[in-house]
Structure 1
Amino acid sequence: MKKLLLLNITLLALTTLFTQAYALTITPGATAGAGDEILWGNDTSQSKIDAVLADYDSGAGVGSELYKSEVGGGEFGPFAGSYDTLFFNTISDPKDAFITYTGGSFISDNPFLLVKDGNHEPAWYLFDLGDLGWDGMDTLELEDFWPGNGAISHVTLYGGSNPVPEPATMLLFGIGLIGLAGMSRKTRKK
């Protein structure tokens, strides 16, 4: 009985540790000195940004726009149901934002984040989220973009995707766990 209680407490502790949500804080000034994780530019054309992304593309679909959220304009892209963005500081001129994973498929292969203003220098920032350690499910906390004279106009996530496990896969995993528990019980009875 004590072993079973200890096992349950251990499993609960491990589950709690592995399901905690974390946030990755991104600021243009603090992250800029980190190396290749950040790029910026003043040419606001999407073709220029696509060219920068193409330089990093290793065949994994970095140039694929998967999620876009505009200030006051809604969310777009195939992952619009998987992420949610909250802009704040001021409604019309936000300098901060939270991008949270809400469920479903998530971006995992070569993730990049574009934060764009377009009216100030630099006009945009592009972050290599893979190099920054983002797993596609952590909250992205954007802080201090264009303080005093600009604002975020939209954010865009680029990269590949990782589908949520199918119910059949989870069922197979559950059956395996039940089998292990049954074998353990059988060996204890002998």
Structure 2
Amino acid sequence: MKKLKALLMIKLLVLCAVLVFAGQAYALSITPTTGFRWEGNENNQDDINDVLEDLFEPDLVELYKAEVDDGESGSLLESYETTFLNTSSDPSGAEIEYVGGQIITDPYLLVKDGNQEPAWYLFNLGALSWNGTETLVLSNFWPGEGAISHVTLYGQAAPVPEPATMLLLGTGLLGLAGFNRKRLLKK
């Protein structure tokens, strides 16, 4: 009987270890044919912003932008990092990686060229089950015809819980459990 219990405990520990380490290595692949998207032929960013204002209420907020030539900008500049793929001056792909800090809730991704039709794609990342931390892998955007000029993440910023907050919550729960156990032992 003891061997059976020991074997069961080992299996449970292995299962827990697998679950702990399994949830971190995902990427969301996006191409021009990925679902939950809009597209348009507006070449100017101001014109694209007008289209987005008509589509969304409340308006989308630009949180992170990476341009091939001008670098990165936005309030979540410290949270994401973009690497353009294929060639540095004529990319048809990119990887947007979460590097820490705040994440985006209700996220949307704009991929823009401007010289081809369509000139831009807007993807509803929430509908694609993106959690804000998975790497976005963009591929096959205007291959041989144009290039990605920039990518932009829109949405709402959500703070990531601080470790100290989680520690405080955990110690509070342990204190409550200990208090309850002490009370039960007195009876």
Give TM-score, length-normalised by structure 2: 0.82
Q: Give structure 2 stretches of 5+ with no counterpart.
A: none
**1:174 matched residue in structure 2:** 170
How far the C-alpha of 1:123 sits from its partner, in A, is 1.1
- Across the aligned residues of Structure 1 and Structure 2, the Cα RMSD in angstroms comes to 2.8
- Cα-to-partner distance string for 1:115-161 (whole Å, 9 max, x where unaligned): 11111111111111111111111111000000111001110000001
- The alignment-based identity, stated in percent, is 56
- Does the 8 Å contact 2:83/2:94 carry over to 1? yes
Give TM-score, length-normalised by structure 1: 0.81
> Following superposition of structure 1 onto structure 2, how do residues 148-163 of structure 1 map, counting pairs within 5 Å?
148-163=144-159
Q: Which amino acid aligns with 2:39?
A: W
**1:12 matched residue in structure 2:** 17
- Cα-to-partner distance string for 1:39-61 (whole Å, 9 max, x where unaligned): 111111223222332234343x5
- Does the 8 Å contact 2:112/2:121 carry over to 1? yes
**2:122 matched residue in structure 1:** 126
**1:137 matched residue in structure 2:** 133
CA distance, structure 1, for counterparts of residue 55 and residue 115 of structure 2? 26
- Cα-to-partner distance string for 1:50-75 (whole Å, 9 max, x where unaligned): 2332234343x52x110000113211
CA 1:180–1:144 in 2, change beyond 3 Å: closer, same or farther?
farther
**1:38 matched residue in structure 2:** 37
**1:55 matched residue in structure 2:** 54
How far the C-alpha of 1:168 sits from its partner, in A, is 3.7
How far the C-alpha of 1:4 sits from its partner, in A, is 7.0
Bigger Rg, structure 1 or 2: 2
CA 1:68–1:54 in 2, change beyond 3 Å: closer, same or farther?
same
**1:115 matched residue in structure 2:** 111
Tell which deviates more after alignment, 160-169 or 142-151: 160-169
CA distance, structure 1, for counterparts of residue 120 and residue 65 of structure 2? 14
How far the C-alpha of 1:21 sits from its partner, in A, is 2.7
CA distance, structure 2, for counterparts of residue 176 and residue 7 of structure 1? 27
